Amino acid sequence: MTENNATAMDYAEHEKTYAGFVAFTKVGVIACINVVLCLLIFGLGSGYSNLAGTVALLATIIAAVVGLFAGHRGWIPSAVVFVISGLLAILTVA
């Protein structure tokens, strides 16, 4: 028979990894939706839509990076940028 040398599972580390995965997923999903919103601004906007889309896209990237280091509340910066981008989309597309 073979020896069983497996150690017990480290549940604290497992919970920490899972919390990090969930936080990363939240930030990633909001950032992806925000990129689609920026594409809407670029494609359908008029006037200063190129500038607004560029600013919104850069803000999305910065908010995603900040959110990844912020922990379990990391989705908040991306959500704020999403709301601002939505307002820019309303102003440029309408």
For 67-91, write each residue's pLDDT tens digit.
988 888 888 999 999 999 999 888 8
* pTM of the predicted protein model: 0.79
CB 41 within 8 A of CB 48: no
Instruction: Check the CA dihedral 67-69-61-17 and report its sign.
Output: negative
28-72: per-residue pLDDT in tens? 999 999 999 999 988 887 778 888 889 999 999 999 999 988 888
Which pLDDT score is estimated for 1?
Answer: 57
Q: Which residues 6+ apart lie within 8 Å of 88 measured at CB?
A: 41, 52, 53, 55, 56
